[in-house]
Amino acid sequence: MSKKVIWIINQTAGKPDSGWGERHFNFSKYWISKGYKVKIISGSYNHLFINQPKISNKTFTLEEIEENITFCWVKIPPYDGGSIFKLWSMIVFAFKVLFLKSSLLEKPSNIIVSSMPIFPILSGIYLKKKFNSKKLLFEIRDLWPLTPMYLSGYSKFHPMIILMSWIEKKGYKKSDNIVSLLPNASSYINKISGDASKFNWISNGIDEKLLLKESLPDSIIKQIPNNKFIIGYTGTMGMANALEYLIEASILMVQNKEVHFVLVGNGYLKKSLMQKTAGNLNITFIDKINKGQVQSILKHFNVCFVGRNDTPLFDYGVSSNKYFDYMLASKPVLESSNFIKSPVELSNCGITVLPESGKAIVEGILELQKMSTKKLEGIGENGLIYVRKYHNFGYLSDKYLKLF
Protein backbone atom coordinates (compact mmCIF):
# COMPACT_ATOMS: atom_id res chain seq x y z
CA MET A 1 0.00 0.00 0.00
CA SER A 2 1.49 3.34 -1.03
CA LYS A 3 2.14 5.97 1.59
CA LYS A 4 0.09 9.10 1.86
CA VAL A 5 1.69 12.08 0.20
CA ILE A 6 1.75 15.66 1.51
CA TRP A 7 2.54 18.54 -0.82
CA ILE A 8 3.71 21.74 0.87
CA ILE A 9 3.63 24.77 -1.41
CA ASN A 10 5.79 27.39 0.27
CA GLN A 11 7.98 29.64 -1.87
CA THR A 12 10.27 30.45 1.08
CA ALA A 13 10.72 26.94 2.52
CA GLY A 14 14.31 25.98 3.27
CA LYS A 15 16.28 22.87 4.10
CA PRO A 16 18.78 22.45 6.95
CA ASP A 17 21.69 24.17 5.19
CA SER A 18 19.59 27.03 3.78
CA GLY A 19 19.91 29.04 6.96
CA TRP A 20 16.26 30.07 6.99
CA GLY A 21 12.72 28.72 6.61
CA GLU A 22 13.06 25.20 8.05
CA ARG A 23 9.55 25.04 9.59
CA HIS A 24 8.13 22.53 7.15
CA PHE A 25 11.28 20.44 6.95
CA ASN A 26 11.11 20.08 10.74
CA PHE A 27 7.46 19.04 10.57
CA SER A 28 8.31 16.55 7.84
CA LYS A 29 10.65 14.64 10.13
CA TYR A 30 7.66 13.73 12.27
CA TRP A 31 5.15 13.21 9.50
CA ILE A 32 7.27 10.60 7.72
CA SER A 33 7.51 8.65 10.99
CA LYS A 34 3.71 8.38 10.76
CA GLY A 35 3.76 6.90 7.27
CA TYR A 36 3.66 9.98 5.04
CA LYS A 37 5.83 11.09 2.17
CA VAL A 38 6.51 14.83 2.03
CA LYS A 39 7.13 16.98 -1.05
CA ILE A 40 8.19 20.55 -0.26
CA ILE A 41 7.71 22.89 -3.22
CA SER A 42 9.83 26.01 -2.83
CA GLY A 43 11.37 28.80 -4.88
CA SER A 44 14.81 28.38 -6.42
CA TYR A 45 15.95 31.69 -4.92
CA ASN A 46 15.39 33.24 -1.50
CA HIS A 47 17.14 36.46 -0.45
CA LEU A 48 17.14 35.23 3.17
CA PHE A 49 18.99 31.98 2.43
CA ILE A 50 22.66 31.68 3.31
CA ASN A 51 23.02 28.89 0.75
CA GLN A 52 20.93 28.95 -2.42
CA PRO A 53 19.78 25.59 -3.82
CA LYS A 54 21.58 24.11 -6.80
CA ILE A 55 19.16 23.94 -9.70
CA SER A 56 19.10 22.78 -13.29
CA ASN A 57 17.87 24.72 -16.30
CA LYS A 58 14.51 22.99 -16.02
CA THR A 59 11.41 24.52 -14.42
CA PHE A 60 11.50 21.97 -11.57
CA THR A 61 14.60 20.54 -9.88
CA LEU A 62 14.12 17.66 -7.45
CA GLU A 63 16.41 17.19 -4.47
CA GLU A 64 16.08 14.21 -2.17
CA ILE A 65 16.98 15.43 1.30
CA GLU A 66 16.48 12.07 2.95
CA GLU A 67 14.13 9.13 2.60
CA ASN A 68 10.57 10.33 1.91
CA ILE A 69 11.43 14.07 2.04
CA THR A 70 11.82 15.70 -1.37
CA PHE A 71 12.36 19.35 -2.23
CA CYS A 72 11.04 20.54 -5.56
CA TRP A 73 12.78 23.81 -6.47
CA VAL A 74 10.65 25.92 -8.80
CA LYS A 75 12.80 28.10 -11.02
CA ILE A 76 12.14 31.79 -10.33
CA PRO A 77 14.17 34.91 -11.13
CA PRO A 78 16.56 36.21 -8.45
CA TYR A 79 15.51 39.48 -6.88
CA ASP A 80 16.51 42.11 -4.34
CA GLY A 81 14.63 41.82 -1.03
CA GLY A 82 13.32 45.38 -1.19
CA SER A 83 12.47 45.62 -4.88
CA ILE A 84 9.36 45.14 -7.03
CA PHE A 85 11.04 42.08 -8.54
CA LYS A 86 10.35 40.22 -5.30
CA LEU A 87 6.64 40.58 -6.05
CA TRP A 88 7.25 39.41 -9.62
CA SER A 89 9.03 36.28 -8.33
CA MET A 90 5.92 35.47 -6.26
CA ILE A 91 3.69 35.67 -9.33
CA VAL A 92 6.08 33.53 -11.38
CA PHE A 93 6.22 30.91 -8.63
CA ALA A 94 2.43 30.69 -8.29
CA PHE A 95 2.03 30.36 -12.07
CA LYS A 96 4.67 27.65 -12.53
CA VAL A 97 3.30 25.58 -9.65
CA LEU A 98 0.12 25.09 -11.70
CA PHE A 99 2.08 22.80 -14.02
CA LEU A 100 3.23 20.31 -11.40
CA LYS A 101 2.42 16.71 -12.30
CA SER A 102 1.82 13.63 -10.19
CA SER A 103 4.37 11.81 -12.35
CA LEU A 104 6.99 14.15 -10.90
CA LEU A 105 5.97 14.25 -7.23
CA GLU A 106 3.28 11.57 -6.75
CA LYS A 107 -0.37 12.43 -6.32
CA PRO A 108 -0.98 14.43 -3.12
CA SER A 109 -3.48 13.31 -0.50
CA ASN A 110 -3.11 16.62 1.35
CA ILE A 111 -1.94 20.00 0.04
CA ILE A 112 -0.65 22.72 2.35
CA VAL A 113 -0.24 26.23 0.94
CA SER A 114 1.81 28.41 3.25
CA SER A 115 1.58 32.18 2.94
CA MET A 116 3.35 34.68 2.58
CA PRO A 117 3.27 34.93 -0.47
CA ILE A 118 -0.48 34.63 -0.78
CA PHE A 119 -0.80 34.02 -4.55
CA PRO A 120 -0.13 30.24 -4.47
CA ILE A 121 -3.41 29.55 -2.66
CA LEU A 122 -5.03 29.96 -6.08
CA SER A 123 -2.62 27.31 -7.38
CA GLY A 124 -3.53 25.09 -4.42
CA ILE A 125 -7.25 25.38 -5.14
CA TYR A 126 -6.62 24.31 -8.74
CA LEU A 127 -4.25 21.46 -7.79
CA LYS A 128 -6.65 20.04 -5.21
CA LYS A 129 -9.33 19.75 -7.87
CA LYS A 130 -6.84 18.43 -10.45
CA PHE A 131 -5.60 15.62 -8.21
CA ASN A 132 -8.83 15.12 -6.25
CA SER A 133 -6.85 15.57 -3.04
CA LYS A 134 -8.49 14.90 0.31
CA LYS A 135 -7.73 18.27 1.89
CA LEU A 136 -6.40 21.75 1.13
CA LEU A 137 -4.92 23.49 4.14
CA PHE A 138 -4.16 27.22 4.04
CA GLU A 139 -1.37 28.13 6.46
CA ILE A 140 -1.12 31.80 7.39
CA ARG A 141 2.30 32.86 8.66
CA ASP A 142 1.57 36.60 8.32
CA LEU A 143 -1.73 38.37 7.72
CA TRP A 144 -1.67 39.78 4.20
CA PRO A 145 -2.81 42.29 3.03
CA LEU A 146 -2.98 43.65 6.61
CA THR A 147 0.81 43.65 6.96
CA PRO A 148 1.59 46.15 4.16
CA MET A 149 -1.46 48.21 5.14
CA TYR A 150 -0.41 48.62 8.77
CA LEU A 151 3.38 48.63 8.44
CA SER A 152 3.81 50.45 5.12
CA GLY A 153 0.68 52.59 5.05
CA TYR A 154 -0.91 51.17 1.89
CA SER A 155 -4.52 52.16 1.33
CA LYS A 156 -7.17 49.44 1.22
CA PHE A 157 -8.03 50.86 -2.21
CA HIS A 158 -4.54 50.25 -3.62
CA PRO A 159 -4.88 47.84 -6.59
CA MET A 160 -2.47 45.29 -5.11
CA ILE A 161 -4.24 45.38 -1.73
CA ILE A 162 -7.60 44.86 -3.47
CA LEU A 163 -6.16 41.88 -5.36
CA MET A 164 -4.62 40.35 -2.22
CA SER A 165 -7.89 40.84 -0.32
CA TRP A 166 -9.78 38.98 -3.04
CA ILE A 167 -7.23 36.14 -3.00
CA GLU A 168 -7.34 36.02 0.81
CA LYS A 169 -11.12 35.73 0.86
CA LYS A 170 -11.14 33.04 -1.83
CA GLY A 171 -8.42 31.10 -0.02
CA TYR A 172 -10.27 31.13 3.29
CA LYS A 173 -13.53 30.09 1.63
CA LYS A 174 -12.10 27.28 -0.51
CA SER A 175 -9.65 25.72 1.94
CA ASP A 176 -10.76 22.84 4.14
CA ASN A 177 -8.76 24.04 7.12
CA ILE A 178 -6.99 27.29 7.98
CA VAL A 179 -3.85 27.13 10.10
CA SER A 180 -2.59 30.33 11.67
CA LEU A 181 0.73 30.79 13.43
CA LEU A 182 -0.84 33.75 15.26
CA PRO A 183 -2.80 32.82 18.41
CA ASN A 184 -5.32 35.66 18.22
CA ALA A 185 -5.97 35.65 14.46
CA SER A 186 -9.30 33.82 14.67
CA SER A 187 -11.20 37.08 15.25
CA TYR A 188 -9.97 38.36 11.88
CA ILE A 189 -9.96 35.16 9.83
CA ASN A 190 -13.33 33.78 10.97
CA LYS A 191 -15.14 36.91 9.81
CA ILE A 192 -13.82 36.32 6.29
CA SER A 193 -14.07 32.52 6.13
CA GLY A 194 -17.53 32.45 7.70
CA ASP A 195 -16.69 29.13 9.33
CA ALA A 196 -15.01 29.23 12.74
CA SER A 197 -14.52 25.45 12.72
CA LYS A 198 -11.86 25.83 10.01
CA PHE A 199 -9.48 27.80 12.25
CA ASN A 200 -6.54 26.13 13.96
CA TRP A 201 -3.60 27.69 15.82
CA ILE A 202 -0.34 25.85 15.18
CA SER A 203 2.54 28.11 16.11
CA ASN A 204 6.15 28.14 15.09
CA GLY A 205 8.35 25.82 17.08
CA ILE A 206 11.76 24.43 17.71
CA ASP A 207 13.23 20.95 17.89
CA GLU A 208 16.32 20.40 19.97
CA LYS A 209 16.95 17.03 18.31
CA LEU A 210 17.14 18.68 14.89
CA LEU A 211 19.01 21.76 16.08
CA LEU A 212 22.66 21.76 15.14
CA LYS A 213 24.92 23.54 17.61
CA GLU A 214 27.88 24.71 15.60
CA SER A 215 30.74 26.50 17.28
CA LEU A 216 31.50 30.10 16.40
CA PRO A 217 34.73 31.09 14.68
CA ASP A 218 37.12 33.20 16.77
CA SER A 219 36.63 36.07 14.33
CA ILE A 220 33.02 36.42 15.56
CA ILE A 221 33.68 35.77 19.25
CA LYS A 222 36.34 38.49 19.32
CA GLN A 223 33.76 41.06 18.19
CA ILE A 224 31.70 40.56 21.36
CA PRO A 225 33.15 42.48 24.34
CA ASN A 226 33.97 40.74 27.60
CA ASN A 227 32.84 42.05 31.00
CA LYS A 228 29.88 43.98 29.53
CA PHE A 229 26.13 43.56 30.00
CA ILE A 230 25.27 42.42 26.47
CA ILE A 231 21.91 43.22 24.89
CA GLY A 232 21.70 40.95 21.85
CA TYR A 233 19.49 40.59 18.79
CA THR A 234 19.62 37.90 16.12
CA GLY A 235 17.50 37.88 12.98
CA THR A 236 16.40 39.91 10.00
CA MET A 237 16.87 43.66 10.11
CA GLY A 238 13.59 44.69 8.51
CA MET A 239 10.64 46.93 9.25
CA ALA A 240 8.65 44.38 11.27
CA ASN A 241 11.27 44.16 14.04
CA ALA A 242 11.28 47.82 15.17
CA LEU A 243 15.05 47.86 15.53
CA GLU A 244 15.26 51.62 15.06
CA TYR A 245 14.13 51.96 18.69
CA LEU A 246 16.83 49.58 19.92
CA ILE A 247 19.27 51.76 18.01
CA GLU A 248 17.75 54.83 19.68
CA ALA A 249 18.30 53.15 23.06
CA SER A 250 21.93 52.44 22.21
CA ILE A 251 22.45 56.12 21.35
CA LEU A 252 20.84 57.19 24.63
CA MET A 253 23.20 54.84 26.47
CA VAL A 254 26.35 55.69 24.52
CA GLN A 255 28.03 57.03 27.68
CA ASN A 256 27.18 53.89 29.69
CA LYS A 257 30.41 51.86 29.83
CA GLU A 258 28.75 48.74 31.24
CA VAL A 259 26.14 47.99 28.54
CA HIS A 260 26.91 46.90 24.98
CA PHE A 261 24.56 46.15 22.08
CA VAL A 262 25.16 43.32 19.59
CA LEU A 263 22.99 42.94 16.48
CA VAL A 264 23.47 39.78 14.40
CA GLY A 265 21.98 39.37 10.94
CA ASN A 266 21.35 41.08 7.64
CA GLY A 267 18.44 42.89 6.04
CA TYR A 268 17.58 45.91 3.94
CA LEU A 269 17.54 48.25 6.98
CA LYS A 270 20.95 47.21 8.28
CA LYS A 271 22.89 49.89 6.41
CA SER A 272 20.73 52.73 7.72
CA LEU A 273 20.90 51.35 11.29
CA MET A 274 24.69 51.23 11.08
CA GLN A 275 24.83 54.78 9.73
CA LYS A 276 22.85 56.07 12.73
CA THR A 277 25.43 54.64 15.14
CA ALA A 278 28.59 55.26 13.10
CA GLY A 279 31.48 55.91 15.48
CA ASN A 280 29.64 54.74 18.60
CA LEU A 281 31.67 52.30 20.68
CA ASN A 282 28.77 50.63 22.50
CA ILE A 283 27.30 48.73 19.55
CA THR A 284 28.52 45.92 17.30
CA PHE A 285 26.96 44.64 14.07
CA ILE A 286 27.75 41.07 13.04
CA ASP A 287 26.81 39.55 9.69
CA LYS A 288 24.24 36.78 9.45
CA ILE A 289 25.46 33.47 10.86
CA ASN A 290 24.39 29.89 10.18
CA LYS A 291 21.20 28.76 11.87
CA GLY A 292 23.22 26.13 13.70
CA GLN A 293 25.43 28.82 15.24
CA VAL A 294 22.60 30.84 16.80
CA GLN A 295 22.58 28.96 20.11
CA SER A 296 26.35 29.38 20.34
CA ILE A 297 26.21 33.15 19.96
CA LEU A 298 23.29 33.51 22.37
CA LYS A 299 25.53 32.17 25.14
CA HIS A 300 27.45 35.45 24.92
CA PHE A 301 24.34 37.60 25.56
CA ASN A 302 22.93 38.57 28.95
CA VAL A 303 19.56 39.67 27.55
CA CYS A 304 17.92 39.12 24.16
CA PHE A 305 15.77 41.73 22.43
CA VAL A 306 12.50 41.46 20.51
CA GLY A 307 10.84 44.56 19.05
CA ARG A 308 7.36 45.22 17.66
CA ASN A 309 5.76 48.33 16.25
CA ASP A 310 2.78 49.99 17.94
CA THR A 311 0.19 48.77 15.45
CA PRO A 312 -3.11 46.84 15.64
CA LEU A 313 -1.52 44.27 13.30
CA PHE A 314 0.20 42.61 16.25
CA ASP A 315 -3.01 42.40 18.26
CA TYR A 316 -3.53 39.12 16.41
CA GLY A 317 -0.39 37.72 18.02
CA VAL A 318 3.11 36.79 16.92
CA SER A 319 5.05 33.60 16.35
CA SER A 320 8.60 34.59 15.57
CA ASN A 321 11.26 31.90 15.72
CA LYS A 322 13.61 34.27 17.50
CA TYR A 323 11.45 33.95 20.63
CA PHE A 324 12.03 30.22 20.67
CA ASP A 325 15.76 30.51 19.94
CA TYR A 326 16.11 32.89 22.87
CA MET A 327 13.98 30.75 25.18
CA LEU A 328 15.84 27.55 24.28
CA ALA A 329 19.07 29.32 25.25
CA SER A 330 17.51 30.14 28.66
CA LYS A 331 18.00 33.85 28.10
CA PRO A 332 15.83 36.60 29.62
CA VAL A 333 13.98 38.51 26.91
CA LEU A 334 13.41 42.25 26.73
CA GLU A 335 10.35 42.81 24.56
CA SER A 336 9.40 46.23 23.21
CA SER A 337 5.74 45.68 22.37
CA ASN A 338 2.12 45.99 23.38
CA PHE A 339 0.75 43.12 25.46
CA ILE A 340 -0.32 40.59 22.81
CA LYS A 341 -0.06 37.22 24.58
CA SER A 342 3.45 36.78 23.24
CA PRO A 343 5.60 33.83 24.39
CA VAL A 344 7.42 36.24 26.72
CA GLU A 345 4.19 37.13 28.50
CA LEU A 346 2.84 33.58 28.55
CA SER A 347 6.03 32.06 29.95
CA ASN A 348 7.19 34.94 32.16
CA CYS A 349 10.64 34.74 30.61
CA GLY A 350 11.33 38.46 30.46
CA ILE A 351 9.85 41.93 30.69
CA THR A 352 7.75 43.92 28.23
CA VAL A 353 8.15 47.68 27.78
CA LEU A 354 6.26 50.20 25.69
CA PRO A 355 6.74 49.86 21.91
CA GLU A 356 8.39 52.47 19.72
CA SER A 357 10.29 54.05 22.61
CA GLY A 358 14.04 54.07 22.96
CA LYS A 359 13.62 55.55 26.44
CA ALA A 360 11.39 52.65 27.53
CA ILE A 361 13.96 50.16 26.22
CA VAL A 362 16.68 51.90 28.22
CA GLU A 363 14.53 51.66 31.35
CA GLY A 364 13.97 47.95 30.68
CA ILE A 365 17.69 47.34 30.23
CA LEU A 366 18.53 49.10 33.49
CA GLU A 367 15.84 47.11 35.30
CA LEU A 368 17.27 43.83 34.06
CA GLN A 369 20.85 44.93 34.75
CA LYS A 370 19.98 45.50 38.43
CA MET A 371 18.73 41.93 38.83
CA SER A 372 20.97 39.29 40.38
CA THR A 373 22.49 36.62 38.20
CA LYS A 374 20.33 34.04 39.97
CA LYS A 375 17.13 35.96 39.20
CA LEU A 376 18.06 36.40 35.53
CA GLU A 377 18.81 32.69 35.26
CA GLY A 378 15.42 31.89 36.81
CA ILE A 379 13.63 34.10 34.28
CA GLY A 380 15.52 32.41 31.47
CA GLU A 381 14.64 28.97 32.85
CA ASN A 382 10.93 29.88 32.67
CA GLY A 383 11.29 30.31 28.92
CA LEU A 384 13.17 27.04 28.48
CA ILE A 385 10.50 25.04 30.32
CA TYR A 386 7.69 26.69 28.34
CA VAL A 387 9.23 26.31 24.89
CA ARG A 388 10.07 22.66 25.47
CA LYS A 389 6.49 21.91 26.46
CA TYR A 390 4.40 23.96 24.02
CA HIS A 391 6.63 24.70 21.05
CA ASN A 392 8.41 21.45 20.27
CA PHE A 393 7.77 20.10 16.78
CA GLY A 394 6.58 16.73 18.07
CA TYR A 395 3.73 18.42 19.93
CA LEU A 396 2.92 20.76 17.04
CA SER A 397 3.13 18.13 14.30
CA ASP A 398 0.49 16.06 16.09
CA LYS A 399 -1.89 19.01 15.74
CA TYR A 400 -1.36 18.91 11.98
CA LEU A 401 -1.76 15.13 11.82
CA LYS A 402 -5.26 15.48 13.29
CA LEU A 403 -6.18 17.74 10.38
CA PHE A 404 -4.83 15.30 7.79
Q: Pinpoint the residues of the chain covered by CATH 3.40.50.2000.
A: 4-202, 218-390
Alpha-carbon distances of 66 from 63, 89, 121, rounded to whole Å = 9, 28, 27
What one-character-per-residue DSSP string does 228-266 give? SEEEEEES--SGGG-HHHHHHHHHHTTT-SSEEEEEE--
Q: Has residue 260 got a pLDDT over 50?
A: yes
| 51-64: average pLDDT | 94
- Look at residue 66 and give its three-state secondary structure: strand
| 312-316: average pLDDT | 86
Residue 70 pLDDT: 96
Q: Has residue 2 got a pLDDT over 90?
A: no
Q: Has residue 212 got a pLDDT over 70?
A: no
Q: What is the rounded distance in angstroms from the CA atom of residue 205 to the CA atom of residue 55?
A: 29
Give the residue with greater pLDDT, 67 vs 46: 46
Prediction pTM value: 0.81
Q: What is the rounded distance in angstroms from the CA atom of residue 153 to the CA atom of residue 392?
A: 36
Q: What value, to the nearest 5°, has the Cα angle with vertex 277 and ends 331 and 279?
A: 115
Q: What is the rounded distance in angstroms from the CA atom of residue 5 to the CA atom of residue 75?
A: 22
Whether 40 contacts 128, CB under 8 Å: no
Residue 211 pLDDT: 63
Domain boundaries 218-390, CATH class: alpha beta
Please state the φ and ψ torsions of residue 240, each to the nearest 5 degrees. Answer: -75, -10
- Which CATH number among 3.40.718.10, 3.40.50.2000, 3.20.20.70, 3.40.640.10 corresponds to the domain 4-202? 3.40.50.2000
Tens of pLDDT, residues 18-34: 978 889 999 999 999 99
Q: Has residue 205 got a pLDDT over 90?
A: no
Residue 267 gets the label, from left (phi > 0), alpha (psi -120 to 50) or beta, of left
Q: Has residue 129 got a pLDDT over 80?
A: yes
pLDDT band at 1; cut points 50, 70, 90 = very low
Q: What is the rounded distance in angstroms from the CA atom of residue 42 to the CA atom of residue 241?
A: 25
Residue 127 pLDDT: 98
Alpha-carbon distances of 388 from 25, 34, 262, 318, 391, rounded to whole Å = 19, 21, 26, 18, 6
Q: Has residue 400 got a pLDDT over 50?
A: yes
pLDDT band at 321; cut points 50, 70, 90 = confident
Q: What is the rounded distance in angstroms from the CA atom of residue 161 to the CA atom of residue 167?
A: 10
Alpha-carbon distances of 73 from 20, 39, 178, 328, rounded to whole Å = 15, 10, 25, 31
Q: Across the chain, what does the average pLDDT equal?
A: 93
Residue 144 pLDDT: 86
Q: What is the rounded distance in angstroms from the CA atom of residue 299 to the CA atom of residue 10?
A: 32
| 42-63: average pLDDT | 94
Whether 368 contacts 333, CB under 8 Å: no
Please classify residue 50 by burial: count the beta carbons closer than 10 Å to its beta carbon, then call 0-12 exposed, 13-18 middle and 19+ buried. Answer: middle
The CA-based diameter of the chain, rounded to the nearest angstrom, is 69
